[in-house]
Amino acid sequence: MEAVGRNEPCPCGSGQKYKTCHLGKEEELTMPPAKKQIIWAVIIAVAVAVGVYAGMTKGFESGLGAAIGILCLGGMVVVFRQPPPPKDDDNDPAGMNFGR
């Protein structure tokens, strides 16, 4: 992770300064790479197992479709697991800060 200055905006998107938001809590900003690798390994193992089972019982196309579907859903879970934190500003109804 890049070094963030104390008075710069926090990279989590809260709109607060880094020193008041996440200083000393860097591990909360991103999921550790080892944990992501474990999650991906489990998702791939489940997709292969379901794909093989469906392929043996329903046909090759069904097994391939089931495996691809599980990989897509699992990927979305990993990617969207950490949404941006809500913002308490009344001027932004979406609660997200895109650098404005």
Residue 68 in this model has a pLDDT that exceeds 70: yes
Report residue 43 CA to chain centroid gap: 14
Rounded to two decimals, the pTM is: 0.49
pLDDT single digits (tens) 4-55: 777 888 777 677 887 777 776 655 555 566 777 788 888 889 999 999 999 8
pLDDT in tens, 76-89: 887 777 666 655 65
Alpha carbon distance 64, 3 (integer Å): 43
Range picked from 53-62, 73-82, 88-97 for highest mean pLDDT: 53-62
Which residues on neighbouring strands pair with residue 9, listed in sequence order? 17
Sequence letter at residue 9: P
Domain boundaries, the chain: 1-30, 31-79
Amino acid at the residue 19 = K
